[in-house]
Amino acid sequence: MKLLITLTLAFLTPLTAIGQTGDSIEAIKKAGGQVRNVRGGYEVSFNLGKRSLNDQDLAYVAALDSVVVLNLKRTNVSNQNLRHVGEITSLKKLHLELTQIDDTGLQYLSKLDQLNYLNLFGTNVTDESISTLKQLDSLTHLYVWKTKITLQAMETLRESKPDLKIVFGVDLSMIEIPDPNAPTETPKTQLKFITNPNAADAPRSGNGENIEVLFENKSRRKVKLVWVGYDGKLKPYGEIEPGATRIQNSYENNTWLITDTADNALGYFICGDQRALAIIPQ
């Protein structure tokens, strides 16, 4: 009987352990997370779809053996929740970008001595966190764009960790936003619309400078744009809706034939040596 109990216990122990892992994975999935096997352990990700997280969800992650990647991007993870993350000493890569965490949360992570990637982009961390960051011995990649960490503070970190890659990002205030209402430059010259009922009369295209033609369909119907080739063959270039414009790359002396949708010729344009407007009249 004793033997039986011992044997049962001996079998139960590993089973319970497997059961716990399975339970944790199930619980993580239930909370909207994904668990993948990756080299060296698990990748746990909550990043898609702005999941709502609670303390228990992260306790399940901490209970899993060898989680190497944890992605909490764009979640509502709190500073307090990070206590559990600080227990996952196997962690190599941690995504905290676009969360509300700040220095109080980050200090729970100081024991993650295998962590080599830490993404803090868009968080509230400040220069106060530099001392925590200095304790992360394995850190090779650090992302701090849109945080409150200053360049000066980063310099002190760089001095103590010369091999650390720190990505500070661009200063967005330096980027100019173009005015959406600024008028686009209308070409100064206008091509003549040569009306001719017979498409065969449109001359073959000749060669010349590379220019641009701005077609504007002022007629009330949809028209087809056709290029008359150097050999006289017609090549369709699509349609222009009534009222629509089209910027078309072309060459000097090229002939552009306009037809209706039933391929009846309405007229043609011959390009000059500069950028020009070509109006398809009513």
Partner 1 sequence: MFKVKHTRREILQSTVAAAGLTVPTVLQLQAQATLPINATRCIVIYCWGGISHYESWDPKPEALSELRGEFSTIQTNVSGVRFSEHLPLMSQHADKMAIVRSLFHKQGGHQQGMYHSITGHAPPPGVKALNRTNSPSLAALVGRFQDPNSGTPNAIRVPYNMYDNGTLMAGEYGGWLGSDYDPILMRTPSGKPFSGVSRYTSRELDLKLNLNKDRIVQRQILQLQLERTIGQTTEYDRLDRFRQMAADMLLGSDVREAYDLENEDPRIRAMYGDHIGGQSMLLARRLTEAGVPVVQVCAGAGDLAGGNGENWDTHRDNFKKLKDRLLPIFDRSVSALFTDLEMRGLLEETLVVFLTDFGRTPKINNNAGRDHYPAVYSMAMAGGGIQGGQIYGSSDSNGARPFENPCTPGDFHATALTAMGINPHSELKDQFDRPFQICNGNPLPLF
Contacts to partner 1 by CB under 8 A? 38-41, 43, 48-49, 68-69, 92-93, 95, 97, 116-117, 119, 121, 140-141, 143, 145, 167-170, 172-173, 175-178, 210, 212, 227, 229, 235-238, 247-251
Strands (E), 60-137: 67-71, 93-95, 117-119
Residue with smaller CB distance to partner 1, 83 or 272: 272
User: Furthest-apart CA pair in the chain: how many Å?
Assistant: 108
Cβ of residue 198: shortest distance to partner 1, in angstroms? 24
Cβ of residue 134: shortest distance to partner 1, in angstroms? 20
Q: Are 123 and 96 in contact (CB under 8 A)?
A: yes
Cβ of residue 73: shortest distance to partner 1, in angstroms? 9
Rounded to an integer, what is the distance from CA 184 to the centroid of its chain?
A: 28
Cβ of residue 169: shortest distance to partner 1, in angstroms? 3
Cβ of residue 275: shortest distance to partner 1, in angstroms? 11
Residue with smaller CB distance to partner 1, 5 or 175: 175
Residue with smaller CB distance to partner 1, 168 or 193: 168
How many CA atoms within 13 Å lie on the side-chain side of 197?
0
Helix (H) or strand (E) run with residue 19 in it: helix 2-30
Other Cβ atoms less than 10 A from the Cβ of 157: the count is 20
Q: Are 225 and 240 in contact (CB under 8 A)?
A: yes
Residue with smaller CB distance to partner 1, 6 or 29: 29
Q: Are 189 and 276 in contact (CB under 8 A)?
A: yes
Residue with smaller CB distance to partner 1, 41 or 86: 41
Residue partners of 187: CB distance under 8 A and separation at least 6 = 212, 214, 274, 275, 276, 277
Residue with smaller CB distance to partner 1, 100 or 116: 116
Q: Which strands form 210-217's sheet, in the order they lie side by side?
A: 189-190, 276-280, 210-217, 245-251
Cβ of residue 117: shortest distance to partner 1, in angstroms? 6
